[in-house]
Structure 1
Amino acid sequence: MPPWIAVLVVVALVSVTTLVGWALRRRESRPRRAVATGSEWLDAGARGAQATLVQFSTELCTRCPQVRRMLHTIAGEADGVALAEVDLTHRADLATRLHILQTPTVFVLDATGAVRSRFAGVPRKDAVAAELDRVIGDPAHV
């Protein structure tokens, strides 16, 4: 194979990999609106009066502690918002049932416990706060 073809193949592979990485990273911190499903898997005592932030993590997740601290800060700044953490290491059934493919994953639940949105990966603080405001400010759930 001539060297110029090998160089073109390498450049094409690097370009495709960069584009896929960019698309995945961009999608990571965006909330996905969820169909309002129940949260019977979450203890009713762990829910907040207005909303609940649920972080799904594993024992080996390296990014989970920073997300936990961020969510704790957000929950502390809002009245009636609780933070719950579910360790998928011990609840693998939930990962399958809730279609959780990576950790951390964050769910935003409304006052009734219905899942309103979800974040896969490390969410931005402002995005989580905006989703929380949307859920709390929703006239159907105030």
Structure 2
Amino acid sequence: MNPFGAALVLVALVAVATVLGLVYRSRQGLFRDVADDEATVLTPADVGSQVPFGAAATLVQFSTEFCSRCPGTHRLLTQIADGRPGVAHVDVDLTHRADLASRFGVLQTPTTLILDGAGRVHARVGGPPHRADVLRHLDHLAGPEPANFPTASHLPGSPHAQ
């Protein structure tokens, strides 16, 4: 092969690898809503947890000992759960539980499931989730605010108060 042909093949390989890497990266942290007909109901025993699930929602994080992004995800989900009444965070270590990984279709860690108060899976995300997306899903599970509940725009001193 001549040097020009070899350089062309090398450039093509780098371009393909770059595109595949960008596609993979763009899909990290994206939530996939679970349809009602495929929603599974989980209990703490199903994931081998001693921690009870939350009355309003539960954030189930699947991680491993060697996952570099799992500690950051653990901190994020713990902060969110601590800031919301009735929300629990359960971290399931799959290092020695391959049965759970195959049962729940976990192909990467971290993987997070968002459960409602009854333990039904409503969403899942592969990779580190984004705070805003988790909060949005929790707000959706909580339902609409009562009509007499003051929002930020109706509080005294708000620039939008009427």
- TM-score, normalised by the number of residues in structure 2: 0.79
How big is the shift at 1:76? 1.5
For residues 77 and 4 of structure 1, what CA distance do their matches in structure 2 show? 60
List aligned pairs for 1:97-136, cutoff 5 A: 97-136=103-142
| Greater share of residues in helix | 1
Q: Which runs of 5+ in 2 are unaligned?
A: 145-162
2:54 aligns with one of 48, 56, 59: 48
| Greater share of residues in strand | 1
Q: Which runs of 5+ in 1 are unaligned?
A: none
How big is the shift at 1:45? 5.4
Percent same amino acid among aligned pairs? 48
Structure showing greater relative contact order (alpha-carbon pairs closer than 8 Å, 6 or more residues apart): 1
Superposed CA RMSD in Å reads 1.8
Alignment partner of 1:80 is 2:80: no
Find the structure with the greater CA-based Rg: 2
For residues 59 and 96 of structure 2, what CA distance do their matches in structure 1 show? 19
Alignment-derived partner of residue 158 in structure 2: none
How big is the shift at 1:135? 2.3
1:37 aligns with one of 35, 40, 51: 40
Total equivalences in the alignment:
139
Give the letter for the 2:92 counterpart. V
For residues 7 and 116 of structure 2, what CA distance do their matches in structure 1 show? 53
Alignment-derived partner of residue 9 in structure 1: 9
